[in-house]
């Protein structure tokens, strides 16, 4: 886990917080700090239930004058194939509802794959090229699927993959069914940034909480780097911060060490 040339700090930083709220506050603080340090940062953004609290926190900070998105660019991780951006279950709709409509993000610099593009493969290639043209992601925000996926990179995904079409596993579709009126309506395909695309980011922040994530968190951090757990590829990243609550950290064998290296600070700033 040591970064090249570093003798004091591991490349994968594990931050364990007492509660879900404190872990969320930490993740939002890392994003806000990056924007305040580099206002024109290219953000990589994620969706899902884990991110709702993060975006609510960032909205509160923005309204308090503590962070601005005005000069930032964003690329979302993924989008369902076949859903127009106006569909209430699309990730474009999610991002408008959960973040973009409430902060000073320039809509012209907020990018997501076009789920209803005439040719999804062409759209995936176009999106990958757009990320590269922007200089790649500055800070990538990630959640963690119960099967170890990041973005929609399901198990068996190539660890060097680029933005492409992925078939969603049954477990992923079942987990996302709660957002749809009928579980049968959950798309089977998605356009997703690849693992290789994610690994090109300058820094990564992954947030996971809850006891249901404990086993996959342990596989991601302490297991072998393998396509069976796509998130394990983050072990190879030069600057990744894993933010956890105590429940999500409960299966880590080296938890005491992580807390020794990075003692918790439980002063929420939002």
Catalytic residue among 17, 123, 147, 176: 147
CA distance 189 to 81: 5
Can you say how many angstroms the Cα of residue 166 is from the centroid of all Cα atoms in its chain?
Answer: 17
Residue ranges of alpha helices (H) inside 6-90 are 20-37, 49-63
Under DSSP, the state recorded for 90 is S
CB neighbours (10 Å) of residue 65?
A: 7
Question: Given 149, 176, 203, 246, which residue is catalytic?
Answer: 149
Distance separating alpha carbons of residues 183 and 175, to the nearest angstrom: 10
Which listed residue (25, 154, 245, 246) is catalytic?
154
Whether 78 is catalytic is yes
- Residue 81 has, within 13 A of its CA and on its CB side, a CA count of 18
Count, residues in the chain? 270
Catalytic residue, candidates 17, 62, 76, 78 = 78
Q: Is residue 154 among the annotated active site residues?
A: yes
User: Six-digit token pair at 81?
Assistant: 């194939």
Annotated catalytic, 147?
A: yes
Verify whether residue 262 is a known catalytic residue.
no
Residues annotated as catalytic are 78, 147, 149, 154
């Amino acid at each position: 886990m040591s970064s090249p040339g570093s003798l004091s700090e591991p490349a994968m930083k594990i931050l364990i917080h007492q509660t879900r709220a404190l872990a969320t506050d930490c993740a939002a603080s890392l994003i806000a700090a990056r924007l305040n340090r580099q206002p024109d940062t290219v953000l990589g953004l994620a969706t899902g239930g884990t991110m709702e609290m993060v975006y609510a926190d960032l909205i509160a900070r923005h309204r308090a004058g503590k962070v601005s998105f005005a000069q930032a660019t964003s690329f979302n991780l993924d989008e369902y194939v076949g859903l127009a951006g106006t569909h209430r279950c699309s990730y474009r709709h999610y991002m408008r509802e959960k973040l973009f409509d409430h902060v000073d993000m320039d809509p012209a610099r907020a990018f997501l794959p076009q789920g209803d593009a005439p040719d999804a493969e062409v759209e995936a290639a176009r999106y990958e090229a757009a990320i590269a043209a922007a200089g790649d992601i500055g800070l990538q925000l990630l959640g963690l699927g119960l099967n170890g996926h990041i973005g929609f990179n399901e198990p068996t995904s190539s660890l060097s993959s680029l933005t492409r079409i992925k078939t969603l596993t049954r477990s992923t579709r079942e987990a996302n069914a709660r957002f749809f009126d009928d579980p049968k309506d959950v798309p089977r395909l998605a356009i997703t940034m690849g693992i290789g695309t994610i690994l090109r980011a300058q820094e990564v922040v992954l947030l996971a909480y809850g006891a249901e994530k404990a086993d996959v968190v342990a596989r991601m951090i302490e297991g072998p780097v393998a396509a069976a757990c796509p998130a394990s590829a983050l072990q190879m990243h030069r600057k990744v911060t894993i933010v956890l609550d105590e429940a999500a950290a409960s299966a880590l064998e080296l938890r005491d060490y992580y807390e020794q290296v990075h003692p918790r600070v439980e002063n929420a700033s939002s």
